[in-house]
Amino acid sequence: MPTEKYIKYNGTYTVVLSCNPDKHGKAILNENVSEIADEAFIDCKHITEIEFSKDLTYIGESAFKDCSGLTSITLPIGLLSMKESAFAYCYNLKSISFNGPLNDIPDYCFAGCMSLSDFSFPKGVRSIGKQAFYNCQSLRTIIVPEGIVCINENTFGNCKNFRELCLPKSLKYIQNLAFYGCSSLETICIPENVKCIGKGIFENMHSLKNIVCHATVPPEVKDKIRVYPQSMLDLGITPITDGVTLIVPIESLDAYRTHDYWGKFKIEEFYDDLTE
């Protein structure tokens, strides 16, 4: 059965085991491939395009990590599972297309993909792993789909060019540092069913002006507002509450004002156009 000299398969040509880093240009996988092994294409910096087989169901851990020559990826309709760091640190990867549903975006999946600017979640996603989009500095808009219950630790950390972040009503938990360093985001809307928020999620969000919290019961926050000495204030280091307005349901004003964490913000009730 024919195969490229740079790509190594198992005996039945159903699993890609490895690829020689000297491979240049387009890599065409054998039509029978259903799995790509862990680290199979790791550090193959000269591959510019991957043609997947239609029967592909599984992409292993770090399978395409550091493939900095890739600029776009189209995943086949039959893909069922990807493991952590599958496309991490593909610095020049600009777009990912999913032709079918997928349950999970694993930990570190697209971490360090600094050129990724076009991303839409596949249908059926129910979990997004920690640091899945960490340091994706070209992303400007993310719409997290309904069904997601938890935003994991540092999932969108250091996405410096976020202008719009839409979170689903199904969301209940936001873990530590989930939005740390999203320094261009001016408004963040916390959905009505969120019950618990981790540490540092508003840290280094230098453009943040409004936190719109739809929860009638103030979410638990596993953090404290830092109090800085005058010497740090003189250097321009200010608390996260500085210049930020918390906007909450009018019936919950008192509950937020007396809350140990939320009460430190300037608080206003919903405007009419923020109640939907």
Q: Which tens digit of pLDDT belongs to each residue from 57-93?
A: 999 999 999 999 999 999 999 999 999 999 999 999 9
Looking from the CA of 176 toward its CB, the CA atoms found within 13 Å total 4
Helices (H), the chain: 230-233, 253-257
CB distance 37 to 61 below 8 Å: no
CATH 3.80.10.10 in the chain is located at: 140-276
How much of the chain, in percent, has pLDDT values that exceed 70? 94
**Angstrom distance (rounded) from CA 176 to CA 19:** 37
pLDDT at 3 over 60: no
**Angstrom distance (rounded) from CA 175 to CA 155:** 9
For the chain, how are helix, strand and coil distributed in percent, rounded to 5? 5, 25, 70
Output the pLDDT for position 272: 52
Arithmetic mean of pLDDT, 164-175: 96
**Angstrom distance (rounded) from CA 260 to CA 86:** 41
- Higher pLDDT, residue 234 or 198: 198
Task: Confirm or reject CATH 3.80.10.10 for domain 140-276, answering yes or no.
Answer: yes
Q: Which residue has the tokens 């599958």?
A: 86
What is the rounded average pLDDT for all residues in the chain?
Answer: 93
Output the pLDDT for position 123: 92
Name every residue whose Cβ is closer than 8 Å to that of residue 62 and which is 6 or more positions away in sequence: 38, 39, 42, 83, 84, 85, 86, 88
Question: Which sign, positive or negative, has the C-alpha torsion 171, 177, 182, 185?
Answer: positive
CB distance 185 to 201 below 8 Å: no
Output the pLDDT for position 273: 52
What secondary structure, in 3-state letters, does 127-148 show? EECCCCCCCCCCCCEEECCCCC
Output the pLDDT for position 59: 98
pLDDT-based confidence at 229, cuts 50/70/90? confident
Q: CA-CA distances (angstroms) from residue 166 to 146, 160, 191, 237, 248?
A: 10, 16, 9, 28, 17
**Angstrom distance (rounded) from CA 252 to CA 158:** 32
Give the predicted TM-score (pTM) of the model: 0.92
Instruction: Please state the separation of Cα 243 from the chain's center in Å.
Output: 26
Tokens representing residue 99 in the block: 């032709």
**Angstrom distance (rounded) from CA 186 to CA 143:** 16
Helices (H), 38-183: none
- What is the CATH number that goes with domain 1-124? 3.80.10
Amino acid at 108: Y
Arithmetic mean of pLDDT, 192-198: 97
**Angstrom distance (rounded) from CA 179 to CA 195:** 17
